[in-house]
Structure 1
Amino acid sequence: MAKKRIAIIGTGVAGTSLVKFFVSDERFNENYEIDLYDGKKTMGRGYAYQHDDENLIVNLPAELMSLTSDQGDYIKWLESNKYEAESYTSRSLYGEYIHSTLMNFVHRHQNINTVESFVEDISFENDENIYTVYTDGAVSKYDAIFLTNGEMSYSDPYELKGEKNFIYNPYPIEDVLKNVKGRIGIIGSGLSAIDCFRYLLKNGHSKVTVLSRSGELPSVRGTYYDLSGEYFSIEHAMSDKNQDLIPLDRIVDLFRKELRAHGIQEELLTRKTDRPEIDLKFDLEHPDEVGKIQYLITSLEDTFKVLYKYLSRKDKTRFMEEYHELIQSNHSPMPPHGAKQILEWIDKGRLEFLDDMESVEVNDEFLVGFEDKNQKPFDVLINATGPVSDIRKDNTLLIKNLYNRMLVEPDEFGGLLIDKYHRVISPRYGTMHNFYTIGALTVGSDYLIKGVTMLSTETYHLVNHFLTRN
């Protein structure tokens, strides 16, 4: 067997999980050689878990964050390295765990190598099915590519990038935000916004204003329940499959039936008022009710993932418009202690939430406009709107070059167009031989596949598909 050279581009959770499944497969041997590409600071950590302020917390309990089949692996790692096995740890600490896990694989296998460089371009030789990877000053050829480079670049909805005192990307927060002064506004109200105001308020700033269109924060994690689906299942939904499609209305009916079976009121899904002080208090005061719907949705992740692929274009669009936010807001909740801290800051007047944001004017200061035509001035605006999902709007050099070469095609629902095995579909070459991707770049095809557990499950299938055919 001729040696197969493999490039894994990006070594966060998905990239490290790929390595894990390669080395644990009995078919993996010295005939395969893997090169791992990432920057020095993000190798084995990924962008999300790089070194940063210790107050930036993972929003999942530690017992749900293991990278191996042993669900207690992360807890054991914490204890063996003399860290306190807290339920919610810092993201930097979790990054140390990923890095340690990856380096352990590298040190045990001479055919796995790290390359501390960012990939700038990839070309494809169609006649030979060979990929050429370009980094700064180096060129290497491979038989297979696994693209797991994480989130795309930040969105900029008000086109402020380049303006003085506009912080386009706040990460790493302890480096980027340590010297900001004056009247501070944060654009966005998701997990990135929480990271920003938590850091600023814990480091001496007297007041921070959160600006957004909706004002909706993530929900608060409730009581744990060990639940499973009875009605909202692939088997039940498939009974209504017609011409390889399942009607959205049928899927919604099954989900409502599942809610009733568990004694969950459907109104809990739409409980948000877009007023954080009300929403956070409700979740904290009703942990059992909130926890039940959160953990039911978590238990149904695999079902959502499969059924999403059977929706028509029209139904998928409708699902994203009408139901996605209801599911997502209960899928990635914040820790209770974080919610209590936010309420304390609100009560003390240190944290302000303003919704219905509409525009930004730039003069000597930023004037933020709202739907009621009022304006509010700021000295500094921090962008916490999160990454783009359309690859045509991404300014990452690698993605721009792949799109320009017509090696990749945007999925209209986000990320790259892929087949059911996560192989890239190119407008120039069709389904790409041995070119796989997963994670943020497959958001249009993979529903809810962002968490550690789901990414780990899916990367197993990629490795198995590759080794079966190679």
Structure 2
Amino acid sequence: MLLVQLAHLPGGPYDVDVHLVEPRAVPGPGLAYSARRKEYLLNVRAPFLSAFPQEPNHFLNWLAASKTPVCPSDFCSRQTYGKYLQQLTESVLAWPAANGLRFFCHHQKAVAATLTQDGRSATVQLADGHEIRSRRVVLALGNFPPAPDLRLSAEVRRHPGYHSNPWGPQALQNIAPHHSVLLIGSGLTAMDVLLGLAADGHHGPVTVVARSGRWPSVHGPLGQSYLSFYANELAGLTSVAEVVRVVRRHVRQAQQQGQDWRPVIDSLRPDLGRIWQAWPQAEQARFLRHVASIWSVVRHRSPPQNAAAVQRMLDAGIVRMQLGKVTHIETAGTDLQVEVTRGKQRQQVRVQHVISCTGPLLDYSRIPDPLVSSLRAAGHLVPDALHLGITTDEHGALCTAQGQVSDVFYTLGPSRRPAYFESTAVPELRTQAAALAQHLQPFLAAD
């Protein structure tokens, strides 16, 4: 999205080359939208998925022009959205933009980035040994595979029944229809995995282990709204308890008036970043401990058809929910022995496959990616104190270990959760991309 926004910047001509470093054969879809399964649906409706904040109907118009099959209930497949992003990216890479920017794609992985001696640019090293010297480097790294907070032995990690990344290219392919499976987590990733297993004809027992025992909420009807109450009641509140109290009161009022609760939550979306930023770090930590899991359930919802499919599996007894936390996994021959803890109770569950559905790894102090590791070791990239992403300024410029703001390294996307908390969905990402492109525009002329 940043690439596309740069290409659409007004002015110029800019005598600047823009390099996209992307190891995947097809640039654009990334990890989230490369899935080749039609049952993996987006959890945001099509009318809200335009890549351009200023053109809200762009994705809908693309669907009509490309004669894509109708998306059921406005929920398109991830694969469909991947094609949309692929075409946008390819159109930028095909020729210089009207503003003079030239775009190049390197199908390589970046393994390191080091500042030049004068500190005014960086050299990015690619896996094949080539180097790219650049005045600005933007880390658009997306999400990293799940990593449960477990100390797993090398034997478990190598076990064919342990699936650390359900989105990997060969993920889940060795699960036979009758195999027993355990999922860690009950969020949207777990629901996608269940739908994928069902599409493959899986009928073996599936145990879902989750501390809350909650599934994501279901999307309500389109077209409902609720008047924003941020300016009058939430602006300036500095504690989680105060904000939760106000939101709960509005949910009760809506329900008493026969209205759905979802639009109340949705009305907060434009101001979520400001609510988060108004809390001191201690309050943000309190939110993460006590409210974040419930917030995830009510905020990140599932398409109705997905929720109905999972409910059918539950009713049929194929899937069962087990309250608790996975605290240990060890090998047991061809199986895996999983310890599930709930309070003082410990239970052993023996299964043939364990799939981590805990969501992406956000803690940049634990991310083993070589590029991240090199920047972290050099003090150019500083993980935030709450382990949500990277410490940045308001424009996404990385803050160094010395507390300075870099004028070379930037980031956007999930890595900016410390600033916004909500920084993963398309409406937030496209806004960040447009804002960062505009912030970089004066440097394009200067460079």
Residue in structure 1 matched with residue 330 of structure 2 by the alignment: 361
State the SS of the aligned residue for 1:393.
coil
Match among 177, 197, 200 for residue 200 of structure 1: 197
Match of 1:151 in 2: 143
- Residue 314 of structure 2 corresponds to 346
Tell me how far apart the structure 1 counterparts of residues 122 and 416 of structure 2 sit (CA, whole Å). Answer: 21
Is structure 2 residue 62 aligned with structure 1 residue 81? no
Once residues 466 and 307 of structure 1 are traced to their aligned partners in structure 2, the CA distance between those partners, rounded to angstroms, is: 27
Structure 2 spans left out of the alignment, 5+ residues? none
Contact preservation (8 Å) 1:187, 1:385: yes
Partner of 1:308: 276
The answer for the alignment partner of 2:263 in structure 1 is 295
Contact preservation (8 Å) 2:185, 2:357: yes
Q: Tell me if the contact between 1:232 and 1:251 (Cα under 8 Å) persists in the aligned partners.
A: no
- 1:309 corresponds to which letter in structure 2? Q
Amino acid at match of 2:433: T
**Stretch deviating more after TM superposition (430-439 or 176-185):** 176-185
Structure 1 residues 252 and 318: CA distance shift in structure 2, 3 A: same
Q: How far apart in 2 are the matches of 1:294 and 1:122?
A: 44
1:46 maps to 30
Residue 213 of structure 1 and its aligned partner are, at CA, apart by 2.8
TM-score, with normalisation over the residues of structure 2?
0.87
In 2, distance between residues paired with 1:24 and 1:228? 34
Aligned to 1:456: 430
Counterpart selection for 2:359 from 386, 406, 411:
386
SS at match of 1:66: coil
Aligned partner of 1:144: which letter? R
Shift in Å at residue 162 of structure 1?
2.5
TM-score, length basis structure 1: 0.83
SS, match of residue 443 in structure 1: helix
Given candidates 110, 119, 123, the residue that maps to 2:110 is 119
- 2:158 partner letter: G
Q: Which amino acid aligns with 1:53?
A: R
Task: Name the CA shift for 1:148/1:229 in 2 (closer, same or farther; >3 Å).
Answer: farther
Between 54-63 and 459-468, report the one with greater CA deviation: 459-468
Aligned partner of 2:264: which letter? L
Q: Distance in 2 between matches of 1:126 and 1:307?
A: 41
Q: Against the structure 1 CA distance between its residues 358 and 44, is the aligned structure 2 distance closer, same or farther, given a 3 Å change threshold?
A: closer
Contact kept in structure 1, 2:254 and 2:261, CA below 8 Å: no
Contact 1:357 1:368 (C-alpha < 8 Å) held by counterparts: no
Quick one: distance in 2 between partners of 1:49 and 1:424? 27
CA apart distance, 1:56: 1.0
Change (3 A) 1:191 1:410: same
1:431 aligns with 2:422: no
- Conserved in 2, the CA contact under 8 Å of 1:51 and 1:172? no
**Code of the aligned partner of 1:163:** H
| Counterpart pick for 1:214 among 212, 215, 219 | 212
The one-letter code of the counterpart of 1:179 is N
Change (3 A) 1:401 1:264: farther
Residue deviations 1:425-457 (CA, integer Å, cap 9, x gap): 011572111321111111122221211111111
Q: Distance in 1 between matches of 2:35 and 2:244?
A: 41
Aligned length: 423
Over 3 Å counting, the alpha-carbon distance change for 1:230 and 1:166 in structure 2 is closer
Shift of 1:142: 0.3
Pick the aligned partner of 1:422 from 367, 374, 396. 396
**Aligned counterpart for 1:402 among listed residues 371, 375, 380:** 375
- Equivalent positions of 1:125-144 (< 5 A) are 125=116, 127-136=118-127, 137-144=129-136
Would the aligned equivalents of 1:37 and 1:43 in 2 still touch at CA under 8 Å? Answer: no
1:97 CA drift (Å): 0.6
Aligned to 1:368, the other structure's residue is in SS state strand
Instruction: Report what 1:276 is aligned to.
Output: none
| 1:153 alignment partner, SS class | coil
**What is the Cα-based RMSD across aligned positions, in Å?**
2.4
How far did 1:201 drift? 1.6
1:32–1:294 distance in 2 versus 1, CA, 3 Å: farther
CA contact (8 A) 1:41 1:50 kept: no
Aligned CA distance change for structure 1 residues 456 and 94 (closer, same or farther; 3 Å): same
Q: Is the 8 A contact 1:297 1:327 kept in 2?
A: no
Percent sequence identity is: 20
Per mean C-alpha deviation after superposition, the further-off stretch among 162-171 and 330-339 is 162-171
Retained in 2: the 8 A contact 1:65–1:452?
A: yes
Which residue is equivalent to 1:186? 183
Q: Distance in 2 between matches of 1:228 and 1:383?
A: 36
Q: Which residue of 2 aligns with 1:325?
A: 293
After TM superposition, give the deviation of residue 327 of structure 1 in Å: 2.7
Identify unmatched segments of 5+ residues in structure 1. Answer: 1-16, 267-287
Instruction: Give per-residue Cα distances to partners, 1:121-159, cap 9 Å, x unaligned.
Output: 111125241111111221010010111110123213332
Amino acid of the structure 1 residue aligned with 2:292: H
Whole-angstrom CA distance in 2 between matches of 1:430 and 1:254: 37
Structure-2 residue corresponding to 1:165: 161
Residue range with higher mean Cα deviation, 364-373 or 32-41: 364-373
- Whether contact under 8 Å (1:423, 1:436) holds in the other structure is yes
Residue pair 1:152, 1:440 contacting (<8 A) in 2 also: no
**Alignment partners' CA distance in 2, 1:358 and 1:192:** 17
